[in-house]
Structure 1
Amino acid sequence: MKIESDDGTCEVKCIHKDSVMEVKSKMLSEETFQSIASDFKMLGDPTRVKILHALSKKELCVCDLAALLGMTDSAVSHQLRLLRERNMVKFQKKGKMAYYQLADQHVIQLIKMESEHARECR
């Protein structure tokens, strides 16, 4: 008698060793997985995603970002510090002002892909 399984699990235990070995040889390093997870953790906060999105449009100072997001300068500075630690943003001093920009375009590509995914899931 066959048991039906609708929970997405295999009905029998069968390891396809060739498939496992093939994929295992193509896996990223543990260090790389940790780095990716840390980046996604940074993107797990809506405020940080808003900051990154805003900076994808134009470089802005802390005061500009605070006004845009309706937050205090201190709160925005804290989020920017976290993003700087992950090398997602960088700043440039111009006189007495510090203007933030994306560290590179990879961050905005992640946001763009996820926003497309989110729209598809709705």
Structure 2
Amino acid sequence: MDIVVEKLIPEDDIVDISDIFKILGDPSRMRIVAALRIKELCVGDISALMEISLSGVSHQLRLLKKSRIIKSRREGKLIYYSLDDDHIESLIDIALDHVRDEGT
């Protein structure tokens, strides 16, 4: 039992990890993240691709950016969004492997 106590993830980290999964738990946000896993996109591109209003996409992007799941860069008047780092892509890849695994 002592080894478990020693290796437990600290409570602050548990809360932060839980928050990431909460954000990714929304299908609209997950679709956006899945698209950004493929290519950097602007709000208009995401809106057209997801068939969500510009304001709806902007709201989701704000939440994803606040959680450090995505990042943005400005090019002229456009802002392009991409995954924040390789860790996010790894999370998605692992989850996808898990979902597609049939227990073999």
Length-normalised TM-score, structure 2: 0.94
Task: Give the distance between the partners of 1:33 and 1:84, measured in 2 at CA.
Answer: 20
Aligned to 2:11: 30
Instruction: Report the RMSD for the aligned CA atoms in angstroms.
Output: 1.2
Structure 1 residue aligned with 2:25, among 44, 57, 68? 44
What is the aligned partner in structure 1 of residue 66 from structure 2?
85
Structure 1 alignment gaps of length 5 or more? 1-19
| Consecutive unaligned residues in structure 2, runs of 5 or more | none
Query: Residues 77 and 121 of structure 1: is their aligned pair in 2 closer, same or farther, counting only changes over 3 Å?
Result: farther
Q: Which has the higher helix share?
A: 2
Identity, % of aligned positions:
42
Match of 1:59 in 2: 40
Report how far residue 61 of structure 1 moved: 0.1
Q: CA deviation at 1:60?
A: 0.3
Work out the CA distance in 1 between the residues paired with 2:55 and 2:62: 11
TM-score w.r.t. the length of structure 1 is: 0.81
What letter corresponds to residue 56 of structure 2 in structure 1?
A
Q: Deviation per CA, 1:36-94, whole angstroms, max 9, x where unpaired? A: 00000011111111111111111100000000001111101000000011011111110
Query: Stretches of 4+ moved more than 6 A in 1?
Result: none
Larger radius of gyration: 1
Q: Give the distance between the partners of 2:59 and 2:86, measured in 1 at CA.
A: 22
